Amino acid sequence: MRQIFLDTETTGLAAEQGDRIIEIGCIEMVDRRFTEGPGSRFHHYVNPQRSSHPDAVRVHGITDEFLADKPLFADIAKDLLAFVKDAEIVIHNAAFDLGFLDAELARLGLPPMRRHVAKVTDSLLMAREIFPGKSNSLDALCKRLEVDNSGRDLHGALLDAGLLAEVYIRLTRGQDALVVESHDEAGVRIDLPQVDLAAFQLPVLAAAAEELQAHEAALVDLDKACGGKSIWRPAAVA
């Protein structure tokens, strides 16, 4: 499975009011492993043809002077779309970045980003399901999941895309906990023999009398707590 972890920096917060992308960073992962080589990253600064809001500059530190000689989004759009084509795109707070990307693509008469990729995954929504009621910013998740973000004094698209990839791996590490590692020490995929689990006979352990009594007591407590509307007892009888 090919995944692209994507982040942008912008001149402000409102794409619908004309704010533009000034930096875009993408990192490729295949089968939950970072790829290597010149084609594994996509990173560009972009001349937005407008000034950044002072509050935005305080966040990312990218000045108008620095961006003055950088390419326009139109100059990198083809390469960007080729890089993300048919991949799953993982973005933290996807609505924000997609709003800016779609606005840039619309200016060029191109379809929105979702039309170019296989799937968009919002890691912020994932984190909110796993950690409801807690802060789920990228910094908060790095701290909670023990991802080193000590170099993140300012926001940067490529840096944040890399941090997001590390956070995502930790958020989803339970999904493949029952899968035997299928790569050797050099990271090369190896074929593992298929095992017929039907050949194994699993022992069946019956509950002891004390355990049955404790279970019955728990059912009684459930009946009392829900006013006799417990569904456990009919299900057990069935």
Closest CA to 72 of 141, 133, 21: 21
d(CA 169, CA 173): 6
Same domain, yes or no: 135 and 216: no
Q: Residue 102: CB partners within 8 Å, gap ≥ 6?
A: 15, 112, 113
Last residue of a domain, which of 176, 194, 216? 176
In a domain, 171, yes or no: yes
Mind telling me the catalytic residues?
155
Query: How many CB atoms neighbour CB 73 within 10 A?
Result: 24
Same domain, yes or no: 224 and 127: no
Domain residues for 236? 205-238
Q: Each residue's pLDDT tens digit in the chain (238 positions)? A: 899 999 999 999 999 999 999 999 999 999 999 999 888 999 999 999 999 999 999 999 999 999 999 999 999 999 999 999 999 999 999 999 999 999 999 999 999 999 999 999 999 999 999 999 999 999 999 999 999 888 776 688 999 999 999 999 999 986 543 344 455 544 455 555 666 667 677 788 888 999 999 988 888 887 777 777 766 665 544 4
Q: Quick one: pLDDT at residue 181?
A: 47
Query: How many CB atoms neighbour CB 42 within 10 A?
Result: 21
The CA dihedral of 16, 12, 8, 78, to the nearest 10 degrees, is 50
Same domain, yes or no: 55 and 100: yes
In a domain, 45, yes or no: yes
Residue 27's CATH number = 3.30.420.10
Structural domains counted in the chain: 2
Full-model pTM: 0.72
Cα R_g (the chain), whole angstroms: 25
Which 3-state string (H, E, C) describes 67-127?
Answer: HCCCCCHHHHHHHHHHHHCCCEEEECCHHHHHHHHHHHHHHCCCCCHHHCCCEEEEHHHHH
In a domain, 225, yes or no: yes
Phi and psi dihedrals of 132, rounded to 5? -65, 140
Last residue of a domain, which of 160, 176, 192? 176
Last residue of a domain, which of 176, 193, 227? 176
Tokens matching residue 36: 């290597």
